[in-house]
């Protein structure tokens, strides 16, 4: 299944996150990604999308949000969410700011590039529910 790709561009409205998640979910199903990891990938990507929809084009004409996904070698899954809007350094709304920590907890690696908009590049290990395992290990270490 290597070299499968998903590429979708949509106008960044609040309502576009759901169909983008569904499209990615269908792509992950086609790749036979573990169901728990599939949910977690959709959660992480959903956070990146929510960040775009909330911040990237705030106070200006709405632009495009781009979703790109592909399966790489060694069972890696690469997903990029990109906008051409304003990069937000941190969320100043009380009670917010959970998005990136959630992405970082789930993805094997996360790179944020703020040149010409924001690119959030996420890499996932599709061989196991790695995020769940990492959390379990982290909790065990905290408790010991």
Partner 1 sequence: MLTQSSINIIKVAGELDIARREEVRLALQVDGPGQGILVDFVEVTYTDSTIIAEVLRFYKDAHAAGRRIAILIESPRFERILQYAGLSGVFPIFKDRAQALSYLMQEGA
| Residue ranges binding partner 1 (CB under 8 A) | 14-15, 17-18, 21, 39-40, 42-43, 46-47, 50, 53-54, 93, 95-96, 98-99, 101-102, 105-106, 131-132, 135, 139
Name which of 17 and 122 has its Cβ closer to partner 1. Answer: 17
Beta strands per DSSP E along 39-86: 64-71, 76-83
Q: Is the dihedral of CA 100, 104, 107, 112 positive or negative?
A: positive
End-to-end CA gap in the chain: 41
Tell me how far, at minimum, the Cβ of 53 lies from partner 1, in Å. 5
The residue among 40 and 71 lying less far from partner 1, judged by its C-beta, is 40
Instruction: Decide whether 6 or 12 has the Cβ nearer to partner 1.
Output: 12
Q: Are strands 5-11 and 76-83 parallel, antiparallel or unpaired?
A: unpaired
Residue 121 or residue 134: which is nearer to partner 1 going by CB?
Answer: 134
Of the CA atoms within 13 Å of residue 16, those in its CB half-sphere come to 20
- Nearest approach, Cβ of 131 to partner 1 (angstroms)? 7
């Amino acid at each position: 299944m290597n070299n499968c790709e998903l590429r979708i561009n949509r106008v960044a409205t609040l309502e576009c996150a759901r169909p983008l998640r569904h499209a990615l979910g269908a792509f992950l199903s086609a790749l036979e990604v573990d169901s728990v990891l599939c949910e977690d990938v959709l959660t992480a990507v959903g956070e990146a999308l929510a960040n775009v929809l909330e911040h990237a084009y705030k106070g200006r004409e709405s632009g495009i949000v781009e979703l790109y996904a592909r399966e790489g070698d060694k069972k890696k899954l690469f997903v990029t969410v990109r906008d051409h809007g304003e990069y937000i350094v941190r969320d100043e709304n009380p009670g917010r700011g959970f998005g990136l920590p959630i992405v970082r907890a789930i993805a094997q690696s996360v790179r944020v590039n703020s040149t010409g908009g924001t690119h959030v590049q996420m890499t996932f290990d599709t061989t196991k529910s790695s995020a769940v395992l990492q959390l379990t290990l982290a909790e065990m270490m905290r408790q010991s």
